[in-house]
Structure 1
Amino acid sequence: MEQYDKLYELYDRHDADALRALQDLVDLFPLVESSVALDRWKEINEELTERKAEIEVAFPEFGETFADLATRAREEQAFMGLDLYNKYHRAVNVFVLDVDETLRSTGSTDNEIPGDTLNLLTEFYDEGVPIVICTGQTLENVKGFAIQGLGSKIVHSGNVSIVYETGTGVFTPGHGADTKQLLYENLDDEIQAVFDDVRSRVISEAPERLRRGCHLQGNEFNVTMKPNFDTGSAAAIEIIDEALVYELDLLSDALSALDRVEGDVKRVSEWTRTYYADQDREIHSVLEQAGELPDISPTDVPAEMRDILDRIDIGYYEGDAAEVGSLELSKVVGVEKAFEVLSIDDPFAVVMGDSKSDLRVMRWVHENESGIAAAPEHASQSVLDFVESTDELVFDEGRAGDILRTVYALNRFADEM
């Protein structure tokens, strides 16, 4: 209880808001060739140093830790960090971060990662904490904003890895032959043939409405249809719902061509739709509303057919994307490979994300006692249910930095204890 009592005293007797403001100015002060600006920065830094010294004197036992906390974490974040330390007794030693609608949000941050979030990530990087960016985006897109936000030096330092296209590949600059690993090349010929079939026809055979309303994301392996409308808009939701049904039909056609699948195209289509509707309540809802849900039971899907479908993922993201992917190439597989390349043998990760593909990583680290999960308030309901049932690390839209500040507090307590 002494830790909690002293923490109450810190935030009760010292103006932590002012310290955080000073720290933010020091961190984010623009680099300009001006003696006046430089003098002002020095004044701010000196004031910050003096205020931190006052805290160190007031709390001789926890002084340096408390001074750092006051400059980075709000009171509730500091207490949550202490709670997490007392629960896990470990510091976070790697970040696993989704990007779209997690680090950045089209709703509140103009689709850019906020400056304070990037600054905090840089702070953790300077402390030696690796960063794994884990996204459904293409590698080139991720590399672009990562270099723009974190800087080329950090991205190419050997301590940053990019798991892209939901785990089809891993890019870890600075690791020689292990720098780029195309995990989809490890899939067997049968599965690769299915994806080749779907990819070759997805645009050419699409109805005109889908060709006008969607585009194909430039993936290396996954087949992802994206809307030509604002993400989440009514028009985007409508066209992606249609794209989902269309992709299920394409997949059914490709599966019916396999030698070991017995059944005509219509029957295979019924099995495919029924299988994925049973797996995902959102897919079930889309098919039901479109009048495309077969009137058969999931138990009617033959074992041989189920064996193949168990390896293929249908990703539905309302108003954002409809995707055919491989369950053998999930984000979990990609993160495992990234940890291997980064030589993280005993991970304790913070996994931040908003979608069902992120949820798989969250569950994986939880089941292996290898980390904690955080999600934005607008995440998929299944993600929110999981996060709230574990450590309740839910943050406001565009405020991923709040979780980073909580983790900063956790790590400070771990260093102290």
Structure 2
Amino acid sequence: MEKNIDGKLKFVGSYIIDKTLGIGATGKVKLARHSKNGEKVGIKIIRKDLFYDKPSLRIKIQREISVMKLMFHPHIIKIFEVLEDSKYLFLIIEYASHGELFNYLVEKRRIQNREALRFFQQIVSGIEYCHKHRICHRDLKLENILLDENHDIKIADFGMASLSVPNAMLKTFCGSPHYASPEVVSNEPYNGMKADIWSCGVILYSLLTGKLPFDEENDNIRKLFNKIRFEPVKIPKIISANCRDLIQSLLTIEPVKRISIEKIKNHPWYKSSALPETCRTPIQDVNMASVRNQIFNPDPEILNFLLPLQLVKDQKTLTNVLSSKKPSLVRVLYRQLEWRRIKMDSLRDDKIHEAIERRKRILKQGKKENHEGLKNWKKNKNSRGFFGVKPFSRIGIYVNFYF
């Protein structure tokens, strides 16, 4: 970490710090760019002194990092690396340049059917990936869904995420009240995946109408929760019949009757437009029995990401489970983290390669322009008597920028 004269962060690792993107309870999110290839990233800066007052916060952040490390999907924000010094923890994450879907909706007031469907298809694809990998987001809302430079969806903020362990229900009330499912606001044990599907229904309704399906003017939480628990959603007729049917299926009060991801994908409205290319790759279920090879010498770095998931009590138990002949979710997650690291290394290598090739093309173009500029100068020298400096200055700019 390096600071400038004002004491503000200038560098974090290989990244040059730029403007502030947002401020949260635990710190700031800064825009930054890689000093070598110019790649833009977001850096979530978390003050470590908060951990002393709130030990649970450390566990929450460690779990968020571990969950994000498990995932690699085009519609889920990627975490590239985690850095730290004596005062701060730095999460280097993918940058979504067009910000929150919430702000986009406020600007548009309501989203037209075709665009809303495209957004929803991408959200469902990302959530399906999470659920197939036994991850429940538990805080899906418009503010936690971002848009990248192509206006593609990026699901973010996994601070409330939890693993869905087979034959176990979740108990913690979390998330935003307006997006919370009836079983969550009733403080009952709940299936996190079913709760996520309800939140998807709230998001879809909001995109198409510009309003939340359940709201209270005076922010009366008791009345809001009663609406969510007991009142069927009222859907305006401006929404097509097929889409109304899907929203009602998503916002079904009884979790066991709520529509599944598979049925969402087969719904007529969902299929009324071709899937985006990024949503077409089939997502496989995590199968514990499929990972049979025992792990006797586990990578310490991967163990550090597995422990915060709290599937086992300590590192000794973790290594014993990994080396056991019995199939386990822990071993599946270990292999997932291992595979994901290979994919991230490949992605990073590709970006570096792209930057090098781009630089070569620009230099080559600069040489061509330099040569053409020289020919023009010779012509102009004889006829007008001045020196053409512009073609020569351009290559200097590009060399400085890309080195």
Point out the structure with the larger helix share. Answer: 1
The structure number with the bigger radius of gyration is 2
Same fold (TM over 0.5): no
Q: For CA contacts below 8 A with separation 6 or more, give which structure has more relative contact order.
A: 1
